[in-house]
């Protein structure tokens, strides 16, 4: 029953108060799918409630709530408790099943490691890394933790720092504040477009290495391919990027690197249950470290 002290609220506002463990977008999706019934029938998010109405919610906490099956895939777990876990993702591991990658993903590995994640949307995944980007990402183990982490990401309070090797000489640090959306012609690519979603990347120079520059990037937003798109936009695509950095550098060492040189080395957030700030770091993967060594690089995060 909807409490009488919620009289006058819109249905979506009442739902947000009654089910704080779920995000508003999730509740709205359930409304559209007919999984939330008001007085036994469908309802509109904007209609007002007056208290005493009967509410029925189907939360779908079965293995069918997420795509894929559990698979015994090794995970490099940096931190884990009953609320969340932090993974150091290797190069080559796809995060979520999709076209051409319906198995062998991080999601499949998570379902094997923690079967209860079958009851959490997307097996608790709240943000992603590209297949050939290595480093840290956080996974929520409960609905409450997932909702909290999503809100932190929306509030831009999650600290995500990356190490990237880009083509050319970057003179000084700065920021790229440019909206990102689907490329208007090449639909498999993202691009800086006027009608895109806001995207902000901060960067600082760590070391100049011949025809490349090692930089640290910090994300305020988390758009698809954000660092790759933003650095290409300012004329410094990532070394090895097959999509946004196809042109040759003239340095055989750089041109031989088979993937985008990008690693998520630091992650910081407020623990969703403990309320304390926590931070983790991950060393560079071997291929990235060897690349820097071969260029005479000395900087390490």
CB neighbourhood size of 36 (10 A): 23
Sign of CA dihedral 227, 232, 236, 239: positive
What letter would DSSP give residue 64? G
| Contact between residue 15 and residue 25 where contact means Cβ atoms under 8 Å apart | no
Structure tokens at 12: 């979506």
Q: What is the DSSP string of 178-215?
A: --EEE-SS-TTSEEE-TTSB--EEEEEEEEEETTEEEE
Catalytic, 130? Answer yes
What letter would DSSP give residue 90? P
Q: Which of 117, 133, 135 is nearest to 125 (CA)?
A: 117
Catalytic residue among 130, 132, 148, 241: 130
Convert 203-233 to b/e letters by CB count within 10 Å (16 or more is b).
bebbbebebbbbbbbbbbbbbebbbbbbbbb
- Where in the sequence numbering do the catalytic residues fall? 130
């Amino acid at each position: 029953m909807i409490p009488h002290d919620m009289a006058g609220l819109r249905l979506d506002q009442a739902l947000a108060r009654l089910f704080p463990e779920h995000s508003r977008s999730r509740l709205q999706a359930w409304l559209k799918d007919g999984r939330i019934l008001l007085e036994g029938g469908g309802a509109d998010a904007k209609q007002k409630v007056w208290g005493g109405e009967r509410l029925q919610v189907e939360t779908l906490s079965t293995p069918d709530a997420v795509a894929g099956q559990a698979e015994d895939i090794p995970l490099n777990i940096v931190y884990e408790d009953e609320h969340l876990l932090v993974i150091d993702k290797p190069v080559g591991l796809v995060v979520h099943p999709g076209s051409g990658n319906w198995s062998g993903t991080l999601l499949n590995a998570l379902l094997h490691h923690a079967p209860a994640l079958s009851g959490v949307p997307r097996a608790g995944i709240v943000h992603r890394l590209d297949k050939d980007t290595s480093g840290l990402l956080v996974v929520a183990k409960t609905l409450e933790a997932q909702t909290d982490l999503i809100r932190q990401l929306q509030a831009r309070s999650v600290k995500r720092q990356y190490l990237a090797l880009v083509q050319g000489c970057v003179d000084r640090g700065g920021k790229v504040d440019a909206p990102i959306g689907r490329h208007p012609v090449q639909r498999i690519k993202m691009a800086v477009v006027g009608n895109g979603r806001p995207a902000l990347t901060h960067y600082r120079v760590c070391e100049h290495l011949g025809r490349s520059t090692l930089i640290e990037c910090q994300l305020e937003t988390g758009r698809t391919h954000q660092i790759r798109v933003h650095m290409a936009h300012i004329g410094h695509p990532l070394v090895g990027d097959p999509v946004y950095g196809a042109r040759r550098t003239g340095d055989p060492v750089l041109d031989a690197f088979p993937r985008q040189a990008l690693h998520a080395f630091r992650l910081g957030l407020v623990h969703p249950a403990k309320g304390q700030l926590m931070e983790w770091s991950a060393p560079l993967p071997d291929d990235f470290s060897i690349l820097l060594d071969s260029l005479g690089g000395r900087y390490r995060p």
